[in-house]
Amino acid sequence: MKNIDSHNKFSMDYYQSIIELALGNGYVFCTVDEFIKGGCPDKGHFILRHDVDLKPLTLQQMIDIEIKCGVVSSIYARVAGSNYNVMDYPVFSMLKNAEEKGCEIGLHSNFLEYAMINNVEPLRVLNAEFNLLNCFFDIKGIACHRDINYVYNSLPYVEKNWKQISDMGLQYETYDSRILKSTTYVNEGLNPHLCWRNDSPENVIQTRGSIYLLTHNHWWYTNHPFEA
């Protein structure tokens, strides 16, 4: 049986240990925006990215660890078709506080799916989502969202219509080849249970190459996966 521990280890202690291991190996933590503005260095940089799909308030425990370790992350929140309300009091204040601590807030969206299902214009949905968040946060980037049972994928649409989207005020999308070419992308996946999809962060840290770690807060916990 293949490494059974890896199925059930996404704890806060583990999250903190990854950050501490990277800091001990001289990694510099930065937001996605800082990484791009810094010229996408391919060595020694660590991006912590959160796509917030479900249970938004469970992200706070990850933010608390980042603050304790003195590092920053990039947090992408959903608006249209979201399972949570980004304007809900505790969610909004969590994001506001994170931004004040140096985190970057961005948009996590499948605006194309929302537009197709509701028979409205895709860029109109995206514009509404961007404007809502950008009223309160300094939004620079979009991370395209896909459900496990996805129908439509916004990413090719974003690439094809980037001129109009950048005119709207967005500066990057998170799968920009500049970022992917200069980092090792590490994320969770199901195979069939929860695990690292390809590389583990510990293995990539040994290479000293830049790391782009995407996590989904609803899979991470303090004591057990069902606590929130």
Binding residues for Zn ion, rule: CB under 5 A, are: 51, 53, 145
Least distance to Zn ion from the beta carbon of 80, Å?
13
Which C-beta is closer to Zn ion: that of 144 or that of 179? 144
Min CB(90)–Zn ion separation in Å: 20
221: CB partners within 8 A, 6+ apart: 10, 11, 12, 58, 227, 228
Question: Residue 64 or residue 147: which is nearer to Zn ion going by CB?
Answer: 147
Smaller CB separation from Zn ion, 16 or 187: 187
Residue type, 214: L
The answer to whether 25 and 208 are in contact (CB under 8 A) is yes
Q: Which of 193, 67, 86, 209 is nearest to 201 (CA)?
A: 209
Q: Which residues pair with 194 in a beta bridge?
A: 190
What's the CA gap between 70 and 55, in Å, rounded?
Answer: 24
- Report the C-alpha gap between 141 and 32 in whole angstroms: 8
Query: Cβ distance 51 to 76 under 8 Å?
Result: yes
Q: How many residues does the chain have?
A: 228
Nearer to Zn ion by Cβ, of 22 and 139: the residue is 139
Q: Closest residue to Zn ion, Cβ-based?
A: 145
Least Å distance, CB 145 to Zn ion, is: 4
Question: Which of 44/81 has CB closer to Zn ion?
Answer: 81
Distance of alpha carbon 32 from alpha carbon 176, whole angstroms: 11
56 upstream amide cis, omega within 30 of 0:
no
Closest separation between CB of residue 110 and Zn ion, Å?
8
User: Do residues 101 and 131 touch, judged by C-beta distance below 8 A?
Assistant: no
For Zn ion, which is the closer residue by CB, 109 or 183?
109
Min. distance of Cβ 169 from Zn ion in angstroms?
21
Q: Cβ of residue 51: shortest distance to Zn ion, in angstroms? A: 4
